[in-house]
Structure 1
Amino acid sequence: MNCKRIICLLHCCFLLSIPAIAQQVGTVSGTVLAADHSPVIGARVELFKQDSVVGVIAAGEDGGFSFTKLSFGAYKLRVGAMGMAGYQSETLLVSADYPEVKVPAIVLKNDAKELKAVNITGKKDYVENKIDRTIVNVNSLASNTGANALEVLQKSPGVSVDGNDNILFKGKGGVLVLIDDKPTYLSATDLAAYLRSLPASALERIELMDNPPAQYDAAGAAGVINIRTKKTRNAGLNGNAAVSIGQSFYPQANESVNLNYRVNKINLFTSLSYGYNQAYRKLELTRDYFDKQGVPLSYINQTLYFRPKNNNGNVKAGLDYYLSPQSTLGVVYTGTYSSSKDHSPVYSNLFNGARELDSVIVADNVNNRKFSNNGFNLNYSHRFDSTGKQLNVDLDYVRYSADADQSFNNDFYSADKTYNRSEKTIANLPAAINIYTVKADYTHPFRNNAKLDAGIKSSYVSTDNAANYFNIVNNTPVVNYDITNRFLYKENINAGYLNFNKSFRRIELQLGLRAENANIEGNQQGNKERPDSTFNIHYTSLFPSAYVSYKLDTVGKNTLILSYGRRIGRPYYQDLNPFVLLSDKYTYSSGNPFLRPQFVNNFKLAFNHGSTYSFAVIYTHLKDYQSEVVQQNGNIFINSRDNIGTVDYLGFATSLSLKPANWWSVYIYADVFNNSFKGMLYTEKLDISAVAASVDFSNQFVLGKGWSADFGGYYSTKRTNSQFTVDPLVQLNAGVQKKIWKDKGVLKLSARDLFHLYENNGAIGHMPNARGTFHNIYNSEVVTLGLSYNFGKSSDGGSKRKSGSSEAEQERIRN
C-alpha cells in the first residue's frame, strides 16, 4: 500500500510539474532594417549564450527573424550585413516572467569605411581551402571572361582534360561532375559539349573534392567536382546579363541572362544561355604494324580535320513557394539542347614494311548530331526550428535523347593516284535514357557543436541505344548486320547514409557511412546474324568516410587534416554496350558488357597554414581499374574499356597564396605523383610505374579606378595511363577588366593560350603487334571581349535553389 501511495504521489507531482516544464522555453524575435527603414533581407543574425553560438539565421523578406524553443537564460544578438555597420545587443533575458522577448527594430547604418574596404579588398580569393573541399572563385580572374566552364575547369588546381574530353582530377580519371549538386547525365563527349556551352559568366564557384563526405553519391572514383552557378536572391527583380564575342580560327559568341523575381511568398527564377562556335582540330595519327619477331609489316599515317559548327542552349527555370517561414515547396526545370554539324575529311596513306607508299584513301565523313537533356525536379524543404533541424525531399525525372546521322565515304587510290574504287556506309544512332530518382535528407544539430546528417536515395535508370549501319551497294542501302545493334539496360540503386560532425576545442571530427545496393540488367538484342545476349549484376557495398582536423595552435592558424574515403567508379551506361561504332576506316569503338565497377580507397594527410600555405600527401588504391584500351584487329584499332588490374597512386600537393604588394596577389598550386599500374592487358602482363607533375599559377593585379588584371597558366609533364603516354601540356592566359556604370557593369578583355602552346600529343603502346602516335592541334588561342551587367539589389541572403536528388546517374552517359 505504501508503495502505491508513493507511486501515486510521484505521478501527481509529475502532472503538476508539466506546466512548469512546458514554460521553460521562450523566443527571441525582431526585425532588421536599413537606414531608410527598408528590410535588410538576408542579414546574418546570430544568437549567443555565454559566448557559445545557439543559432544562426538569415533575416526574411520583411527583415524579420525568430529564434524559438529557447531554454531560459541570458542571450545576446549579433547582426551583420555587407556594407553595413555591425550590431550587438545588450543582454536579453528569457525567463518565466518574459518568455517572449521582442527586440526593438534593429537599424543597421551604412558604414562608409567598410564600403570603401569592400571596394578595395572585397574580391574573394581565387582559391579557398576547407576541411573537405577546395573552392575556386571563378569571377576572381578577368581571364575567365568569355571562357566556358570547361576552360575554367582546366585552369582549376589539379584539374586537366585529355584529348578525348575526359576530365582528370589530380591525374586520375573517373571524376563525378555535378552542376549545383546535380549530375548532368552526360557522357564524356556530351558533358564536354555542355560545359563548352556554359559561359563562365554564369558560374559562381567550383568545389573540388578528392574525398567527398557521405552526403554525396559514392560514384566518382577520382572524387567530385561541383560547379555552382550564380543565383540572385533578393526581393523584387534582380539579375545579371553577359555577352562575349571571341576570335580564334573561327568566331565564337556566348550570351547569358540570369533573372530572379521575388515578391511575398513567391520566388521565380530563370537562367538562359546560348553559345555558338566553330571548333577546329587537326589530328595526325601514325600506326606501325609488325610480326611476332618485330619485323615491320606495314605503316599507316592519317590526317583528320574536324570543323564542327556547334549551337548550344541551356535553360533553367523554377519557382519557390514559401508555405510558411519554415517550409518551402519548389519546382525546377533544367534543359540542355545541342546540335553539331561536322564535315571531316580524312587522308590515309598506307605503306608496306619498307615504308614504300602502297595506296591512298581519301575519306569524306559527315557527322550531324543533336541531343537534349530535360530534367524536372519537385522539392520540399522544412526547417523545424532555429537550431538548424531541417528536412529536404527531392523527386526527379530526367530524359536524355540523342540522334546522330553519319556517312563514311571512302575513295581508294593506288600509289600513283589512280582511282580504284569507292565504299560508302551510312548510319543512324538514336539513344534514349530515362532516369527517376527520389531522395530525402535530414539534418539534426545537437548542443556542443555536434550535428548528424542522414538520408536515403533510390534511382531507376532505363536506356535504349541503337546503331543502324547500312552499306551502300548500287545506290541501295543494305543492312550491315555485323555492327547493327540495339542495347537495352536497366539499373536500380538504393542508398542510405549517416554523417556525424563534432567540433571540440581544437579538434573537428566528421564521420560518415554510406550503403548502396545495385541491381543491373543488360540485353543486347540480336539480329539475323547475331544472337541475343544478356547479363545481370547485383551487389551491395559500404562506403565509409572520415575527416579529423586538429588545430596546432589556439587561434587555429595551423591545422592538420587527416581524411579517408572509399568510393566506386561505375561504368558509363554505353560502355556496357557491346556493339561497334565507326570513327573512320581504321578506327572503331566498342563497349564491354563484362566491365566491372572499380573500387577506390583514398587517404590524405594535409597541413594548412591559414589560407597562405598548404601541403598534402595523398595515397589512392584502385581495384579493378577501368582503363581506356586499344586492341588491334588486323589494321583496325578498336577503342574500348576494360578492367586491367590495380593502380597505386602516391602524390604530394602544395599550394601557396602570397600578397607581394597591396595591389598584387599570387596563387600557386603544384603536385607530383607516381602512378603504378599492375595487371593484365589482353594476354600480356602490365607493370608500369611513372612519375608526373603539374603546376598551376595565377597573378591578380588591382590597378585602381576600377581596373584589374590577371596573368596565369599551367604546365604538366609527360603522363602515363596504362597504354597511353601523353606529352607535356602548357597554356598561358591573361585578362584585363574595367568596372563601369557605377560598378554595375564590367568590361573585360581576355586572351587564352597566348602563344598557341597547347597541343595534345602522345603515343599508344602495349599492343602485341602494333604501336601508334597521335598529334592534336586545337583552336585554343582565343581573344575575347566581354560585357556583363548586374541589376537589382545585391546580397547573399534569401531564397534557396534546389537542383534535385540526382547525384551520379547523369554522369554515366557515354556515346
Structure 2
Amino acid sequence: MKKYLILLLITVACFKSFAQQSAAKLLGYVTDENGQAVPFATLRFMPTDTASKAVAERISAEDGSFVMDLPVGNRYYLIATGASYTPTKEWVEISDSALHITLYKKTEQLETVTVKATVPLVTRKIDRVVMNVQDNALVAGKNSMEVMEMAPGLFVDRSGSISINGNSGVRVMVNGVLLQLSGDDLTSYLNNLRASDIQSIEIIAHPSAEYDAEGTGGIINIILKKQRTAGLTGNLSAGYSIGRYPGNDQGLQMNYHNNKLTLTGNYSHYQQKAFNDIHQSRNFPNDGLYAASNLIINRYNGHNVRLGATYDLSAGQYLALGYNGSFNHSSSVTHSTSDINYPALPADNYSSDGHFTDQNARNLHNFTFNYHLDTDTSGSQLEIKADYTMTHDNSSSLAISQDYDASGMATRDSSFRYGMPNRDKILTADIKYMQVFSPTTKLHFGGKYTGTEIDHINNFTRILDDNWTADPSLYYQYHYREHILAGFITLEAKVFNTEIQLGVRGENTKTSATLAAEQNSVNENSYFNLFPTVFVKRDLNEKGSNYLSLSYNKRIQRPYYNDLNPYISYLDNYTIETGNPNLKPQFSDNYEIGLTLANKYNLSIAYSDFKDEISQITHMSQDTALVEITRGNNGSTKRYSATLSIPLQITKWWKTNNTLQYRYEDIKTAGFAIKQPLVYLQTAQDFKISTTWSANLSAFYLNHAIEGNIFVGNISKVDIGVEKKLMDGNLKIRAGLTDLFLGRNITGTIKYDDNEIFLRQARQSRMFKLSLTYNFMKGKSFKTKKIESSSEEIQSRL
C-alpha cells in the first residue's frame, strides 16, 4: 500500500508543478433576481461605454456559468442580454474571484401570444438518460424513489431494490457521491429526498471506463439543485405519512458563502414504522405439508449529517473537504407460527410458535478530500480525490421459540440468541486528468487505489438445561481484505456528425478471507480484468434532434461483503439464511442501440449476457428439514429488452410521459431453467389547474417479475398527488396517496430442488403523505462546488 501512496504523491507533485506554469482562468455566473441560473446569456465586455467592438464575448452555459481569460485589474463596460430578460449594462472590474451578473425578467407581456420554452422530462446523451426534474410539474410532490419509478426502463421492486432494464446491482449516488445507506435505510432516505430539491437524475445504464467497473446494473446519479446565492440560504422541511402505521421526517439545509469560502450543511431525521405480512406453504419430508405465517413489525430511526467546506485558491483551483455521517437504528419483531401436518398420520402433526427480535445499530463516518485544478482555458482539468470510510454495525437477535405436538403439549424449547459486531474500513485514492484538444476532442486518463478491511464476529448462545450456554460450533471470526488497483483511458471525438467515445479500464484485484472457527480456513484470490467501453452517436439531421446511438461495455459485480460473511440468520424456525465465503465475481457484457426523434421520442433495444451470475440458492436439508437460503455463482442469464418512450402534450393543461418495455429473460441456474417474457408499462400525467395549483397521477404495471429463484405475479402501483404554492412559491404544501389499489401486495413461487414454496406478501405501501417545504435566501449569487467521494462504487457493497 505504501508504494501506491508514494506513486500518488509523486504524480500529484508533477501535476502541481505543471499547473503552476499554466494560466488560470476566471469564472463567472449569470442568475436572475431570484438567484436561479440564466442559461445561454450573451456577455459582451466593451473597452468603453461608447465602443462598438467588444474585447471579449461569452455565452453562459446551462448552469449559468461562463469562463473569462481577461487580465485581472482591468475595467470593462459589460452588456449582458438574455431571452425574456432586460439587458444589464454596467462597469465591472476583473478580479481573482468569481464575477456575478444579475439579469431581471421583463415585465411586459405580448398582448396575444406568449411563447414559453419548457425542458422535456427526459433527454438523452451519448452515455446516459437524464430526467430533468427541476421545475417539472410531472414530478411535483414526489420523492426521489417515486421519480425514479418514472424513468424509462427503471424498476423499483417491493423491497426498494432498483434495476435498469431488468439488471439489478444498481448504485445510487447524490452529486457523484455514493449514498452511505443500504436496504431499508436507503429506501427511507430516497423516500425522504424530495423532487423539489433535485435538479436532475442521470440514469447511466452502461457506465464508461472512467467509472469503476463494479456494478452490473449501472449507476443512478441524483443531481441536487445548486445554491447560487451568497450569504445565507437554505430550506426547512417537514413531512408526515400514515398507512397502517405513521411516519415523519424533518430536514434543515443551509449554505453560506463569503468571498472564497463556501460552507454547506444538511441535517435530516426520519422515523418510520412498517409491517411485512408473509404467508408461505410447501411440501415437507415424509409426505408432510408445511404452512407458516410471519408478521414482521419494523421500526426505523435515523439521523444523517452532511458537512462541506470549499475554498477557492484561484478562479480555476479549489480545495474541498466533506463529512457524511449516518446514525441509524432499526429493529424488527417477528411473530412466526409454523404448522407441519401429515394427512395420513395426524397424530404426528406438530407446530411451533416463535418471536424473533432483531436489533441493528449502524454508525457510518465518511471523510472526503478534493483538489480541482483547471490547467488551461480550454477546459482541461486535474482532479484528485481521497476518501476514508468507517462503519460500525452492532446487530443482535433473540429468538424465543417453542415446539408443540399434535395435542398442544410443549416438546422443545429452541430459543437462541446471537450478537454480530461488525467493523468496516475503506480507503481510496483517485486521480484523473482530462486534456481538451478541442470542444469535441478530449482525452481522459487516471488511476485509483482501493483498500478494504472487514472484521466480523459471531457469538451464538442457546438454551441448554434452562441456561443460556455458548455454542462454540457456531462461534467464528471473519476477516476480509481487498485491494484494487485500477487505471483507465478514454478518448472522445466527433467525426462527420458522429460522436465517438472509446475507453478501456484495467483492474487488478487481490482478496484474502480468513475464517477463525472450529475449522479454520483462508481463501485468497488474485485476478486482473480489462473492461472496454464503446459509445457512438450519429446525428441524422442538421439540428441534431434525430440521432442513432450505440453502446457496449463490460462490467463486474463483486459479491457484497455481507454475502461473503458465513453468518446464519433465522427467518423462522424452519427457514435460515446464510452467507457464502466462496462467492466469485459475476461478469456481464452489455449492448444497446437506440433511435431518438425530435429529442424526445426514443426506441432502444438492449442485450445483456451475465456469466457466473450471483443468484439466490434455496434447498432443504433432509436431516434438519430446514430450508436454507444462500447465494452462489450458479447461474447465467441472457436478457433482451426493447423500450419505447413517448412524451405527449395533450392540452395546454395536460401533459404526459409514457414508457413501454418488453423484456425476454433466458435464465439458467442449478435449480431451474426458464425462458419468459415480461411487459412493463409506465405513465405520468400532469394537470396544471392554475398558477399555484397542480395535480399529478403516476402509475406502472409489470405482468410478472423474476428475482433470483422467486417468481412473482403481476405488480402495479397508482399514485396521486396535489400541490399548492404560497408566498411566491417559497412555501409548498403537497399531499398525496401512494399505491392507491394495493398493487404492491404480491403472490409468488420460490423454486428449489424440484420443489416449490408458495408465497403471499403484504407491506405498508398505501400511505397518505403530507409535506411542507419553506425556502429562504439572502445575499448575492454564487455557485457551490460539488464535493465528491472517491469510494462511490466500493461503498455500495457494504
Flag whether TM exceeds 0.5 (same fold): yes
Q: Is the contact made by 2:141 and 2:722 (CA closer than 8 Å) also made in structure 1?
A: no
Deviations 1:727-760 (A, max 9, x none): 1100000111111101211111111111222113
Identical-residue share of aligned pairs (%): 25
Q: TM-score when scaled to structure 2?
A: 0.87
* SS of 2:637 mapped into structure 1: strand
Q: Is the contact made by 1:27 and 1:66 (CA closer than 8 Å) also made in structure 2?
A: no
Q: Which residue number in structure 2 is paired with residue 95 of structure 1?
A: none
Residue 584 (1) aligns with residue 586 (2): no
Cα distance between partner residues in 1 of 2:658 and 2:245: 32
* SS of 2:700 mapped into structure 1: strand
Aligned ranges 1:275-290 → 2 under 5 Å: 275-289=270-284
Q: CA deviation at 1:417?
A: 2.9
Aligned AA (1:773): F
Cα distance between partner residues in 2 of 1:82 and 1:299: 73
Aligned AA (1:540): F
Residue 567 (1) aligns with residue 567 (2): no
* SS of 2:151 mapped into structure 1: coil
Q: CA deviation at 1:186?
A: 4.8
Residue 647 (1) aligns with residue 637 (2): yes
Residue 740 (1) aligns with residue 731 (2): no
Q: Which runs of 5+ in 2 are unaligned?
A: 1-21, 45-55, 72-76
Q: Which residue number in structure 2 is paired with residue 506 of structure 1?
A: 497
Residue 266 (1) aligns with residue 251 (2): no
* SS of 2:120 mapped into structure 1: coil
Q: Which residue number in structure 1 is paired with residue 453 of structure 2?
A: 462
Residue 791 (1) aligns with residue 779 (2): no
Classify 1:638/1:233 alpha carbon distance in 2 versus 1 (closer, same or farther; 3 Å): farther
Cα distance between partner residues in 2 of 1:304 and 1:77: 70
Q: Is the contact made by 2:25 and 2:316 (CA closer than 8 Å) also made in structure 1?
A: no
Cα distance between partner residues in 2 of 1:678 and 1:33: 56
Classify 1:28/1:336 alpha carbon distance in 2 versus 1 (closer, same or farther; 3 Å): closer
Cα distance between partner residues in 2 of 1:437 and 1:410: 45
Q: Which residue number in structure 2 is paired with residue 541 of structure 1?
A: 529
Cα distance between partner residues in 2 of 1:315 and 1:550: 44
Q: Is the contact made by 2:512 and 2:523 (CA closer than 8 Å) also made in structure 1?
A: yes
Q: CA deviation at 1:767?
A: 1.3
Q: Is the contact made by 1:275 and 1:313 (CA closer than 8 Å) also made in structure 2?
A: yes
Cα distance between partner residues in 1 of 2:707 and 2:137: 34
Cα distance between partner residues in 2 of 1:408 and 1:612: 55
Q: Which residue number in structure 1 is paired with residue 338 of structure 2?
A: 348
Q: CA deviation at 1:496?
A: 1.3
Deviates more, 1:510-519 or 1:38-47: 38-47
Q: Which runs of 5+ in 1 are unaligned?
A: 1-24, 70-75, 90-99, 291-295
Alignment match of 2:245 (pick from 243, 250, 268): 250
Aligned ranges 1:38-437 → 2 under 5 Å: 66-67=68-69, 84-85=85-86, 108-112=103-107, 124-138=119-133, 148-184=143-179, 186-188=181-183, 190-196=185-191, 198=193, 202-289=197-284, 297-352=287-342, 354=344, 356=346, 358-437=349-428
Classify 1:286/1:508 alpha carbon distance in 2 versus 1 (closer, same or farther; 3 Å): same
Q: Which residue number in structure 1 is paired with residue 506 of structure 2?
A: 515
* SS of 1:812 mapped into structure 2: coil
Aligned AA (1:785): L
Q: Is the contact made by 2:25 and 2:377 (CA closer than 8 Å) also made in structure 1?
A: no
Q: Is the contact made by 2:750 and 2:757 (CA closer than 8 Å) also made in structure 1?
A: yes
Cα distance between partner residues in 1 of 2:422 and 2:382: 36
Classify 1:626/1:791 alpha carbon distance in 2 versus 1 (closer, same or farther; 3 Å): same
Q: Which residue number in structure 1 is paired with residue 11 of structure 2?
A: none
Residue 713 (1) aligns with residue 699 (2): yes
Aligned ranges 1:579-728 → 2 under 5 Å: 579-634=567-622, 635-681=625-671, 686-728=672-714
Cα distance between partner residues in 2 of 1:187 and 1:499: 31
Deviations 1:740-791 (A, max 9, x none): 10121111111111122211321111414x3202211011111111111211
Q: CA deviation at 1:168?
A: 2.2
Q: CA deviation at 1:171?
A: 1.4
Cα distance between partner residues in 1 of 2:63 and 2:550: 38
Q: CA deviation at 1:227?
A: 2.5
Q: Is the contact made by 2:649 and 2:656 (CA closer than 8 Å) also made in structure 1?
A: yes
* SS of 2:670 mapped into structure 1: strand
Aligned AA (2:550): L
* SS of 1:775 mapped into structure 2: strand
Q: CA deviation at 1:423?
A: 2.5
Aligned AA (1:84): Y
Query: Over aligned residues, Cα RMSD in angstroms?
Result: 3.6
Cα distance between partner residues in 1 of 2:250 and 2:216: 34
Q: Which residue number in structure 2 is paired with residue 777 of structure 1?
A: 762
Cα distance between partner residues in 1 of 2:32 and 2:525: 64
Q: Is the contact made by 1:277 and 1:311 (CA closer than 8 Å) also made in structure 2?
A: yes
Residue 751 (1) aligns with residue 737 (2): yes
* SS of 1:571 mapped into structure 2: coil
Q: Is the contact made by 2:209 and 2:490 (CA closer than 8 Å) also made in structure 1?
A: yes
Q: CA deviation at 1:521?
A: 0.6
Cα distance between partner residues in 1 of 2:735 and 2:716: 21
Q: Is the contact made by 1:42 and 1:798 (CA closer than 8 Å) also made in structure 2?
A: no
Q: CA deviation at 1:723?
A: 2.3
Q: Is the contact made by 1:202 and 1:256 (CA closer than 8 Å) also made in structure 2?
A: no
Q: CA deviation at 1:449?
A: 2.1
Deviations 1:525-583 (A, max 9, x none): 11xxx211111111111111111111111112211001111111111012122232222
Q: Is the contact made by 1:83 and 1:114 (CA closer than 8 Å) also made in structure 2?
A: no
Classify 1:391/1:638 alpha carbon distance in 2 versus 1 (closer, same or farther; 3 Å): same
Aligned ranges 1:440-519 → 2 under 5 Å: 440-447=431-438, 449-519=440-510
Q: Is the contact made by 1:198 and 1:314 (CA closer than 8 Å) also made in structure 2?
A: no
Q: Is the contact made by 1:359 and 1:414 (CA closer than 8 Å) also made in structure 2?
A: yes
Q: Is the contact made by 1:483 and 1:579 (CA closer than 8 Å) also made in structure 2?
A: no
Deviates more, 1:320-329 or 1:162-171: 162-171
Deviations 1:458-511 (A, max 9, x none): 110000112211002344321223332221100011111112222345211111
* SS of 1:792 mapped into structure 2: strand
Q: CA deviation at 1:175?
A: 1.8
Deviations 1:404-437 (A, max 9, x none): 1210011222334333342210111111110001
Q: Which residue number in structure 2 is paired with residue 761 of structure 1?
A: 747
Q: CA deviation at 1:250?
A: 1.0
Q: Is the contact made by 1:146 and 1:254 (CA closer than 8 Å) also made in structure 2?
A: no
Cα distance between partner residues in 1 of 2:32 and 2:241: 44
Q: Which residue number in structure 2 is paired with residue 807 of structure 1?
A: 792
Classify 1:678/1:250 alpha carbon distance in 2 versus 1 (closer, same or farther; 3 Å): closer
Cα distance between partner residues in 2 of 1:504 and 1:490: 46
Q: CA deviation at 1:66?
A: 2.1
Classify 1:26/1:176 alpha carbon distance in 2 versus 1 (closer, same or farther; 3 Å): closer
Cα distance between partner residues in 2 of 1:763 and 1:312: 34
Cα distance between partner residues in 2 of 1:800 and 1:188: 29
Cα distance between partner residues in 2 of 1:600 and 1:88: 57
Cα distance between partner residues in 2 of 1:309 and 1:142: 33
Cα distance between partner residues in 1 of 2:167 and 2:239: 33
Deviates more, 1:324-333 or 1:355-364: 355-364
Deviates more, 1:344-353 or 1:309-318: 344-353
Cα distance between partner residues in 1 of 2:548 and 2:130: 18
Q: Is the contact made by 1:197 and 1:274 (CA closer than 8 Å) also made in structure 2?
A: no
Cα distance between partner residues in 2 of 1:545 and 1:659: 36
Cα distance between partner residues in 2 of 1:679 and 1:35: 58
Classify 1:250/1:678 alpha carbon distance in 2 versus 1 (closer, same or farther; 3 Å): closer
Paired residue total: 752
